[in-house]
Every structure is written in structure tokens, then in C-alpha cells.
Chains A and B, each alone.
Chain A
Amino acid sequence: MHSATAWTLARAAALCALAIGVLVPLSACTARHDADTLVIAMPTFAEDTFLPWTGGGQRKAYLDAIYDYLAIIDPETGEAGPGLAESWEMSDDGKTWTFYLRRGVQFQKGYGEVTSADVAFSIREIMAPAARAGPSSPLRRLIAGVETPAPHTVVVHLNQPDPELAIGYFANAQQVGIVSERYVTEAGRRKANAVPVGSGPFELEFHRPDSEIRLSVRADRENIWREPPQYERLIFHVVPEVSTRVAMLKTGEADIAPISFDDIGDLERTGLSIVSIPQSWSPVVRLGGLIQAGDRYEPANPWADVRVRQAMNLAIDKQAIIDRIFHGEGRIAASDTPVEAWAGLEPYAYDPVRARELIAEAGYPNGFPITLKTFATTPGAELPTVAQAVALYWQAAGIDVRIERIDWTSLRSAWTSGTARDYVWTHRGFPFTSAQNGLEAGFDARSVFASFSTPVLQDMLNDHAEELDKQARTEHLTAIGEYLRDQASNIFIAHINEPYGVSPRVGEWVFTSSNALNFETIRRPAPHGSDAP
């Protein structure tokens, strides 16, 4: 053997030895987090910002531990209960709300007591033109002004009645977290957006953009007014790839992570538990050109005929989609958002024969071509697969489907600018704690995200918005739900339960909805032999 070769090989062997010598001791470095820390692997931090008005609701996973809300929804009853506001009252006309704040609640880091001025400031900021929060636009239209007649009294004047304000925009499933006016003013918006100060039980300890958020129980623990947390630290990691999240659960690097439906069986076999968030989102097919207002209506589409839309619903075996794609984690839906008043709505049955008849009756005995656009998102990685299934069912009913992959942003752009008129697309619906908020977003012709609207529906929505009697509102809602179902306004497929893998370190976890996961309230597991829940 050449001496050069021998030397080369010796060097390679030395490198290998070095690698093993490094790797094995490094295995000690992979030691998991300490017993007081809960690690949550998230697909995204979304905007990765900390002021409530600088981004969307996905950030609530970590913001809810830092900020408080005026009302907290009881996960059991679904009713709004006291939050920062101990009580509230609505005027007879439904246009003035008075909130009475809890006394003595302190902001973190010594920024003083939460007062009505802080609440008013937080509401005004989320309504400001530069705000980027989900509810910013409707709040701008809804709120006429905010008054602070006393340090613990906030009066909110509305432009129109909203009997669901407390359970809707001002509750913990929405985004009006209360910030310290003094802190934001003194620190400046940019710093406050990076280093938050709230009145919640946790404060920011460390943040690496798009990578890690570490929250620890606030230093002045005596000022926690909520149920004291059982874990001292919450660490959120951004882990975009679901296979990596699953690996983290298996190795114990993460305690909680959303997983794919296909991973449920694998994780259960390894001894980990699955917690499904009920009705956390809804796969749905939106039909373009169905806004009967302005230039967003396209009567030439075959699906402008209600019979065709009904046929498009009847043609799909939704239970098969739930069983095969979502592993049974869901139930057939007659709406894109779960509303209590709609719970009894009968969804379209699977009836391909009737579907073909209706298409023929509508004047399309040989079917018609249609473009179905689809995209994958989070949650919603399954949407392209759903699109394929829908396409196959429609093809069996005589509809010639062309599937087109697109990115969500491009589709959203076309939708909101009113140009998505001559095709249909997969989408996802989310739950709203206030049905009115959901209806305004999805079916009010003024909303750029409306997918279906008719003059009849608009009148129904207006009547519902102005009605203050609870029973009458429920009746209105039921009628709206039936109308949306009968009109086959969308292809409603299912309400899906999103699965989370959880480690044995997670005890009682009471979440409100997919919009309020309440990670900060997670309890430690009950000791063996304990009867505790």
C-alpha cells in the first residue's frame, strides 16, 4: 500500500474515531428538559410577535399565557365568565357595554395595576388602521368609542347591537389581550412587540425568532390571579415538519405537538397519548362567484344553480373522507363552523344517483367542466388529498374536474380581490365562539372573505344582528343555518378533531377550542393511585 494511501486511510479512521468519540458523549447533551418545564412543538409562530394587534390568532398559543382577556369562556358550558372584567352589562339597545374590572390585578415587571385606561388603550390599538390582528377590521366597524369613567370601569359604545361582544371579540378565544399602556408608551411599540408585558401568569424569558419562545412563571408570583400554573416554564419550539414533531414526542424532547392523522396509530403504539381538539377546523369546498353583490357574482357558472350545488354535495361520501383521510377524527358537517344552534342540522346524505339526476335537471345531462384549486396549509395539510377525493366523487357524478395546485396566498389574494369567480377551491373553516362573528366573516357580502351571499341571506343576517332576545337569536341562527344548508352555499364536508400527541408528563389539559388551547393551565399528571382526574 502507498504510504500516502495509508496516511489517508489512517486519517479517515481517526476522523471516524473522533466522530464516535464526540457523538457518544454528546448523547448526554440530548438530555431532556427539566421536570418543571413543558415543551410544546408548534408548526409555526405565525408572525412571531408579541403585541396582540400585530398578527393573527395562531400566536395565541403563547400569547394567552402572557396576556389576560376581559372574559374567559368556560370550556364546559361555553359561556363567558369573568376574566379581567369581573362583570359586565349590556344596555337595552345592545349598543353600550359596561365592563367592571377586577381590582388589584398587576402587570408584570412592576408596570402597575390594570386599569380601564389600559383596556381602552388595548381596544383602540387593535382597531387602529395599522393593526394586523384578525378582528381588527370588524372591530373598526363595530366600535364607536371607548370611555373610562372610572379606573375600573370601561364603557364600550357600538355602532350596532352586539349581544355577543363578551363571548365574542372580548373573550379569550379572540385577540383583544390587555396590554400595559404605560409600558408600550415608555418602551415604544417596537420593543413592546419583542418583549411583552401582560398581566397573565407567564412572562417572556427568552425568544429566538422562528425558533424558540421560553416563558417562565412571572417573578412576582403572588400577583397571579388566575389558577396558579403547575409548570414553571413553557418552551415553545417551531417545528414545521410533522415527522420531526413526531420524533420529538418519541424522544421526549416535546411534551405536546400537533401531529398528522396518519401518525395517530404510530404514536399510540409507542405509548404516547393522543388528545383531539374537537371540531377544530373544517375542510370545505368554496364555490366562486356566489356573492350576489357588486361584481362578485357569476351567474354563468353551472353551480350558480342551486340544484347543481346540491348535487355537488350529494355526490360526495363525506363519511368515507372522514374515515380514510382523517382516520375517523371528525363528523359530517352541515356548516363550516360549529354553531350550537346548527348541531341538529341534517347534512346532505351520500346519494350519487340523486346527484346525477339533479345535474341533468339543471341542464347538464353530460356534466360540465370545473376547476378545483387546492393548497396545503397548517392546519390543513390534508386539503389536497380531500380535493382528490372530492374530484373522484364529482367525476363519478359526471363533472369533469381539473385539480390545480396553488399556494394559499395566491388563492387568498384572488378571493379577497373578487377575482376568484369561475372556479372552486378547498378551504378550511374555523370555529367562532360568537356565531355572529363567524357569519359576518363568511357570509356578509361586505366581507372580502364571504363565500356565499344573497339578498335573502343578507336580510337574515341583519335581522339576527339586531335581535337581542336570546331565544329569538337562536331561532334566527337556526333559520340561517338551514338556509345555508338548503342553498348548498358551500360543500361542507366535516368538522375535524385535530390530533395532538402528548407525553405522559401532561396531566389534565382543559382547552376551550382550537383558538384557546390554554397551554398555561396544563396540570401535572395525577400520581399513581390517586383518584384525581
Chain B
Amino acid sequence: MTRLVINRIGEALISLLLMSVVVFFLARLTGDPVAVLLGDGATEADRIALVAELGLDRTLPEQYLIFLGNALQGDLGNSVTGHQGPALMMVLERLPYSLGLALAALVIAMGLGAPLGVAAAVHRGGPIDTLARAAALLGQSIPPFWLGLVLIYVFAVELRWLPTSGYGGIANVILPAFTMALFSLAAVVRLIRSSMIEQLTSEYVKLARAKGLPERDVVWGHAFRNGVFPVITFMGAFFATMITGAVVIETVFSWPGVGRLALDSIMRRDFPVMQAVVLVITTLYILANLIVDLLYAWLDPRIREGAR
């Protein structure tokens, strides 16, 4: 187990290094922040001075080495906009909002998706199965932007049950979390359904039934425990995606998360913030995958044994 963790950490560091190269050079392909920062009536001399102030007059390899050297000391630079605060802090300030929303979405996706997927598998071909498959298809087809606006209209404007948007109490989380959850909920239903169908026809389930175990124990205690593996893999990756890929949902619901920070930093060509966002998210991806690996090892003794 320890070796597994050490191996994964080594891979994570290499991934981070490669990602730093990619984000650094890709960001600079799209232009620079100088044009955004120049005010009305700025002259060519102002432009040249700003280029020098931001260090953009150095060669790209030089700029990268400076960035890497600082990054190794935990300094990802300061925002080049008027904020001028540490880029890493700006990302970390936003992260709790994104994590909270993603976690709520995850709970909804798993809480609703798992029972529905299991029910669909148990009643394969029946009305519940048809309903679950239709719901899954719908969930994966509806654009979150549209769904978000419809939910706002129904639950905020018409019913007045929930606030339209913004960060606040539990009431503010429900609509964005559900909008975010719907796509992954649909995926969870499909994955669990197909996985459970496979498990429910396997020999060990037949044996469990032959031994006279109650059906509930057979389904949830035996089949589900094995059937949940693909979902864990999916949700691990999807959790990280929910943090960064939530730009649309954060925009519709005015949620102050990392997704909007990422978008704003791209629009402003705020290189340090862009780089900090990508590196923090990469770290989260890696952590999510590490947790998935450890969960696998915990759930499946064969992996634990193999790693030993």
C-alpha cells in the first residue's frame, strides 16, 4: 500500500511538471495581458514600458525558468491586473465555493443515481428500467445552461421556493448543485445499471441466492459492492471536472467559484492566475485519482495484495 502511494506521488509530480510546461506555453500563444491593461489614450511608449514591467520582454524559456523557480518555492506569481494579489491565494480563496458545490452535486448524483441504477438493473426491461434509461438519456442530453435557466424560472420566479442565484445558505446551493449533478447522475444510472446487470447474473450472486440470503442483502451487500467500481472511477475524474468545468453553471447561478476565475483570467490574459488555476486543478485531479486508487485497494483485496 505504501509503495502504491509513493508511486502515485512520483507520477503526480511528473504530471505537474509537464502540466506547468503546457499551461505556460499555451497561455502565451493567445496573446498577452498588455492590451487589456493599457488605459485610454495609452501610447506605444506606455505599451513598451508595460511589457518590460511584466517581464514579457524576456524570451519564453527565460520566463518559464523564472516561473518554475518561483513555483518550486510556492510562489506562482501575482495577478497582473489591478488586484496584484498572489495568484495562488486567489485560487485557494475560490476553491471552497467550488468544492462545496461539487460535493453537493456529487451527493445528489450518487444519492439518486445509485438507487435508480440498481432498481433499473433489478427490474431490467420493466417500467422502472425504461424510466431510468429515459431519465439518463435526458440528463446527458440537456445542456446545463438551458436546464439552469429553466430551474430558475420554475423554482425561483414561478414557485418562489428558492433564490435565483448567488452564494448564501443551503437554499442557494440546491439549483446549481442539481443542475451540475444531472449530467453525472445520468452517467451514474447508466454505469450502475450495466454493471449491476453483469453482477446480478454472475455465479457468486447465484450462490448467495441459493444460500437463501434475503434479496436485499444479495443486491446491496454483494452485487452492489462489486458493481460500484466503475462509478467510483467515473466520479473521481468527474469530481475534479465539476470543479473546473462548472463555468457555465457558475455563470448562470452567479457562483463565485474557480471556473469563473479561470474564465476571467483567460479573458484578461492574467497569466499567473491562469497558471495557478491549472496547477491547482491538476493537483486536484491527481488527488482525486489517488483517492480512487486507494478506494479500489480498500474495496478490492486483490489490488492491495498486488501492490504489496
Interface residues, chain A, with chain B CB atoms under 8 Å away: 2-5, 7-9, 11-12, 15, 22-24, 26-27, 29-30, 47-49, 51, 53-56, 129-130, 132-138, 140-141, 190, 193, 208-212, 237-241, 243-244, 247-248, 250-251, 253, 294, 407-410, 412-413, 415-418, 437, 440-441, 444, 446-449
Contact = CB atoms under 8 A, between A and B. Distances in A.
A2 B157 contact: no
B228 interface: no
A437 B41 contact: yes
Contacts of B215: 2-4
A7 B261 contact: no
A413 B31 contact: yes
Nearest to B169: A29
A409 B41 contact: no
Contact of A5 (B119, B156, B163): B119
Contacts of B24: none
B152 A244 contact: yes
Contacts of A415: 35
A132 B122 contact: no
B41 A441 contact: yes
Contacts of A7: 216
A163 B123 CA distance: 83
Nearest to A59: B82
B22 interface: no
Contact of A211 (B31, B40, B167, B174): B167
Most buried by B among A4, A9, A130, A415: A4
Contacts of A3: 214-216
A174 B29 CA distance: 34
B217 to A, nearest CB: 8
B256 A407 contact: no
Interface in B134-182: 149, 152-153, 155-157, 159-167, 169-171, 174
A208 B37 contact: no
A54 B84 contact: yes
A12 B128 CA distance: 12
Interface in B229-275: 251-254, 256, 260-261, 264, 267-269
Interface in B159-213: 159-167, 169-171, 174
Nearest to A20: B161
B171 A26 contact: yes
A4 B208 CA distance: 14
B184 to A, nearest CB: 17
B254 A237 contact: yes
Given A138-B42, A244-B253, A416-B42, 9 more contacts: A26-B170, A53-B82, A55-B83, A135-B41, A136-B39, A193-B82, A210-B261, A251-B157, A413-B32
Contact of B41 (A30, A138, A190, A253): A138
B82 A47 contact: yes
27 contacts: A3-B214, A3-B215, A4-B216, A22-B170, A26-B162, A47-B82, A49-B81, A55-B83, A132-B81, A137-B39, A137-B46, A138-B42, A211-B166, A238-B254, A244-B254, A247-B164, A248-B165, A409-B30, A409-B36, A410-B30, A412-B35, A413-B34, A413-B36, A415-B35, A416-B34, A446-B44, A449-B42
A72 to B, nearest CB: 21
B256 A209 contact: yes
B49 interface: yes
Nearest to B264: A210
Contacts of A250: 157
B122 A2 contact: yes
B111 A15 contact: yes
A11 B220 CA distance: 13
A448 B47 CA distance: 8
A237 B166 contact: yes
A30 B161 contact: yes
B44 A27 contact: no
B38 A448 contact: yes
B112 interface: yes
Given A23-B174, A26-B161, A30-B163, A240 B35 contact: no
Contacts of A48: 83
Contacts of B43: 137, 141, 446-448
Interface residues of B, number: 71
A196 B141 CA distance: 47
Q: Give me the 9 closest cross-chain CB pairs, A-B, nearest first.
A: A54-B82, A55-B82, A211-B256, A413-B35, A137-B42, A138-B41, A47-B82, A441-B40, A4-B219
A464 to B, nearest CB: 15
A29 B156 CA distance: 12
B276 interface: no
B85 interface: yes
A25 B162 CA distance: 10
Nearest to A142: B41
Contact of A137 (B40, B216, B267): B40
Given A30-B162, A240-B251, A449-B40, A416 B171 contact: no
B269 A409 contact: yes
A135 B31 CA distance: 23
Contact of A247 (B41, B153, B260): B153
A243 B149 contact: yes
B218 interface: yes
B167 to A, nearest CB: 5
B268 A56 contact: no
A448 B30 CA distance: 20
Contacts of A11: 115
A15 B116 CA distance: 12
Given A209-B94, A416-B38, A9 B119 contact: yes
Nearest to B126: A5
B57 interface: no
Nearest to B220: A4
A65 to B, nearest CB: 19
Contact of A417 (B47, B116, B264): B47
Nearest to A415: B35
A49 B36 contact: no
Nearest to B255: A211
B53 interface: yes
Contacts of B169: 29
Contact of A129 (B49, B119, B167): B49
A137 B41 contact: yes
B40 A241 contact: no
B62 interface: no
A12 B252 CA distance: 29
Contacts of A211: 166-167, 254, 256
Most buried by B among A26, A53, A294: A26
B161 A247 contact: no
Nearest to A250: B157
B82 A8 contact: no
Given A12-B115, A447-B43, A30 B171 contact: yes
B157 A132 contact: no
Contacts of B93: 209
B118 interface: yes
Given A30-B160, A247-B164, A210 B260 contact: yes
Contacts of B30: 409-410
Given A15-B111, A209-B94, A211-B256, A241 B35 contact: no
Nearest to B118: A8
Nearest to A247: B164
Contacts of B166: 211-212, 237, 239, 253
A253 B164 contact: yes
